[in-house]
Structure formats: structure tokens, C-alpha cells
Structure 1
Amino acid sequence: MQDFSVVKIGLESVDPLILAGIRFTLCALPAVFLLKRPQVPWRYTIGYGLMFGLGLWGVVNLGVKAGVSPGIASLELQFSAFLTILLGAAVFRESLSRFQYLGIAVALAGLFSIMFVTDGTVTLVGVALLLFVAVSWSVADVILKQAAPKEMLAFLVCSSRRTRTPSWDTPCGTACCASTRCRPSRRSPCSFRSSASWARC
């Protein structure tokens, strides 16, 4: 929950998607210059970066900005635990016991009760965004299991390098994009992706 409280503070002065871009830039630097590319197909680092970086933290920021309190946001993300179980059963042919199904049903009933909170800490748009976040997190978990990287740190660093939020691609570059004055634009010579320094991943 502390993490979401800090997110809420950050959103007072920074665009939600730019804040996510800053987060994963700091995750990648300076390790991206020191580590070798993990020995996994490109689709896994790209997929994980998009799902975990943009789909999870980018949309979490949008949800908190839309009016969901940090406490409710951290609670609603627990939907991902159940979705991961169900996705794992579908993708990896894992079998579930009746007790697991019963536990999922009871826990989901409790989480769905969040939607009936009327004290101003929940908005319909915010809840919808965070449900999308839970799905993204579950998909990211499945991608990670499929990739099974031996170099986990290198995998996370390269995935962070591939986290690309729309508001982050600005001519302002990484140095000044922590400002709400930045606006999305087409690829530019000083944009996040175009730097040749990132070619290692």
C-alpha cells in the first residue's frame, strides 16, 4: 500500500504514463549498459515489458488518477492472483482442485464487494482500469513462466527498457519528461527508444 501512496503523491505533479516511464527507466539504468541480453526470444522481453510496465504500472497510475484510493487499488490488484491460476490452468494445462475453485469463489466475492463502496474512495472508471491491470499482471506472470529466463536480472532490465508509454515518447527526451508540459509526439532523435545506447537489449 505504501507504494500506491507514493504513486498518488507523484501524480499530483507528473502525468500518469510519464511517471510509469520514469519508473522503468530507473529500473533499467545503469544496469542496461552492464548486463548482456538474456537468452530468451525477443517476444518475451517485449511482451513482459508491455504487460508489466504499461499494462500494469501505467494503467495503475491512470486508475489512481481516476479517483481510486491507494488502499483500494492495492486490494483490487489481488484479482491477479486468481486470474493467474485460471490462466495457468488454461495455458499450461494445470489442474485445479474443487477446493481451489471454492477458495477462488469466496475471495472473488469479497473483492467484488469493493464495487459497492460509496465513501468516495472508489470510482467506476478507476475500478475498470484496475481490473485491466489485474489481467495485465496475470498475463505478465504467464509470459515470465513461458520465458523461464536463466538471467532473471538481465531479463527484468531488458523488459524495463522495452516499457514504452505513449506520453514518454516526446522530443523532450528522458531528461525533462518528468513534466506535465511534455506531450506525445512522433519518434525524435532524442526520444527514449532512439538512443543507440540501448541497443544491447
Structure 2
Amino acid sequence: MSPKDLLSALIVILAWGVNFVVIKVGLHGVPPMLLGALRFTLVAFPAVFFVKRPAIPFRWLFAYGATISLGQFVLLFYAMSVGMPAGLASLVLQAQAFFTLIFAAMILGEGFRGPNVAGLLIAACGLAVIGVQAGHAMTVAGFLLTLAAAAMWGMGNVITKRMGKVELLSLVVWGSLVPPLPFLALSLMLEGPARISASLSDISLTSILAIVYLAFVATMLGYTLWGKLLARYPASQVAPFSLLVPVVGLASAALLLDEGLSPVEFVGAVLVMAGLVVNVFGGWLRQRLLSAAR
């Protein structure tokens, strides 16, 4: 990966790591489904009038919007509203790396390398350790919904890869036309007109800033850069970088929300991070060791 693309990956990691704290802050004043509707409405409008539609079939545009935008965040926002802490959400959501590799193998025929398998198995153990804490530091529903959100993200990664070369800013903007109406329909059903009206009439500056961050930094900037990386490199090389997001997510949640980790959760987090190291650097390390042995 070139230095420029590595910098892009680090920018995404920072933007998405802080994103979980911003979501938690936004949910203090706006219910989850309404927050999703506002987020993606702001991404799509007025940009859709100035950004050219991506040159892809509508089915791919809809699939992208339905998975990465709608499916992922319906599940994640609801998970965080029913007891999933911001820091742990940033960690558990990285199960998307498993789903991305599995879906890429099934749909795109991409193979697994030894370090990929070893790294993901280590990280899976870490997620399992964290899952044991469901019902204590986090709710069972929050944990399971976050895993489901990770599956949606993984499928969205593969859909982005399957599209081939596409203008990513236009994909993000036009793909954001898909979520607002379903989010609003869910908000009407689950949250009700009275809560929607009260949230909008009493919306605070903090909530407005949270929505702006979610729309422009986490969505437009983050997914544009991420999609470009997926278009240039195999999914197995790009997806593991997202495992660094919890480092920022856990640190920012501890600093800004005073969220801490239990000893068990800390062990799980270390295993997930160790899985990333093996996944990304395992092949290089093996070659160095073989070269030294010769």
C-alpha cells in the first residue's frame, strides 16, 4: 500500500473511531431511527443536485445504500440506544473483517492466506471473550445487533469491490438516497410522531453538530476514502485496517464518556488487536523468518 493510501486509511480510522462517541452524544437528544434519517438526508441533500450519478446499474446503487448505509446503521444505532457502550461498539463492529473475507471468498472468489486465517481466528477469540460480558457491561441485544451491523458492513464492502471502478463520492451521495425514507418509516413506527416532533423542536446545538459530523466526516469523507481503498486493493488487505478503529473508539470513549473496560474486556480487546497484527504483518514476518533461516 502506498504512503498516500496508508494516510487515507489512517484518516478513516480516526474519523470512524471518534464516530462512536458522536453517535452516543447524538442519541442523547435524538432517537436512533430519526438520527439515521437526518444523517443520510444531510449526506444526500443538496449534494445530489451537484454530484453526478455514478455510472453503475441501479441495482448496485440500491445494494450499496441498503447494506452499508441503511442496514448497518439501523442495527448499530438501535444497538447503541439499547445499551451498547460506544467503545465496545467500535470493537465489536470490527467483526465486519470476518464477514468481508467470508463474503469476498463466497462471492468474488478471493482466497485466504495463512496469516488471514490465523489473525481472524485470534480476533474471533477476542470477540468471543467480549461476548461473554453481554448482559453485564453491555446488553445481549446490543451485542447481537452490533454483530448484525458488522455483517451488513461486510456485505457492503464486497458490493463496493464488485462494482469495480466507480467515483466514490458520487456513490456515497447517491447511495444515501436509499436510507432516509426507510429510517423515517421506522422512526414513525418505533418512536412515534410525538417523539419526533419533540426531538426536532427542542434539538440542541450538540445534536446538530453530531449530525453534521456523522454526515460529512464519518459518511462522506470516511466512506469515500474507504471505498477507494477497496477498489485498489484486495478486500483481505483493506478490511483488517478497520480493526484499528477500536483503538481510537475505546480511547475516545474513555476520555470523553468515561467508559472503562473490565479486565475480561481488556483481554478481549488485546486479542482483537493481536489478530490485526497477525493479519496485516503475518505474511511479511513469515518471509523474514524464512529468509533468516536460509
Q: If the length of structure 2 is used for normalisation, what is the TM-score? A: 0.56
1:1-20 equivalences in 2 (<5 Å): 1-20=17-36
Q: Which residue of 1 aligns with 2:195?
A: 180
Counterpart code for 1:156: V
Distance verdict in 2 for CA 1:118–1:80, change over 3 Å: closer
Counterpart code for 1:58: V
Q: Give 1:159's match in structure 2, choosing from 166, 172, 175.
A: 175
Question: C-alpha displacement at 1:29, in angstroms?
Answer: 2.1
Q: If the length of structure 1 is used for normalisation, what is the TM-score? A: 0.80
Q: Quote the sequence identity (%).
A: 32
Distance 1:7 1:166 in 2: 19
Q: Give 1:143's match in structure 2, choosing from 159, 167, 189.
A: 159
Q: Which residue of 2 aligns with 1:91?
A: 107
* 8 A contact 1:14–1:178 mirrored in 2: no
Structure 2: segments with no counterpart, 5+ residues: 1-16, 198-294
Q: CA RMSD in A?
A: 2.3
Counterpart code for 2:48: V
* 8 A contact 1:60–1:133 mirrored in 2: yes
Question: C-alpha displacement at 1:159, in angstroms?
Answer: 0.1
Greater CA drift, 117-126 or 101-110: 117-126
Structure 1: segments with no counterpart, 5+ residues: 183-201
* 8 A contact 1:35–1:154 mirrored in 2: yes
Helix, strand or coil at the partner of 1:181:
helix
Counterpart code for 2:26: G
Distance 1:178 1:111 in 2: 38
* 8 A contact 1:51–1:140 mirrored in 2: yes
Q: Which residue of 2 aligns with 1:123?
A: 139
Q: Give 2:116's match in structure 1, choosing from 100, 115, 129.
A: 100
* 8 A contact 2:40–2:180 mirrored in 1: no
Distance 1:165 1:116 in 2: 36
Distance 1:54 1:179 in 2: 23
Question: C-alpha displacement at 1:136, in angstroms?
Answer: 0.1
Q: Which residue of 1 aligns with 2:66?
A: 50
Question: C-alpha displacement at 1:45, in angstroms?
Answer: 1.0
Q: Does 1:22 align with 2:22?
A: no
Distance verdict in 2 for CA 1:153–1:67, change over 3 Å: same
Distance 1:111 1:18 in 2: 30
Question: C-alpha displacement at 1:97, in angstroms?
Answer: 2.1
Q: Which residue of 2 aligns with 1:66?
A: 82
Distance 1:31 1:167 in 2: 19
Higher share of residues assigned helix: 2
Question: C-alpha displacement at 1:7, in angstroms?
Answer: 1.1
* 8 A contact 1:83–1:135 mirrored in 2: yes
Distance 2:72 2:119 in 1: 25
Distance 1:34 1:179 in 2: 34
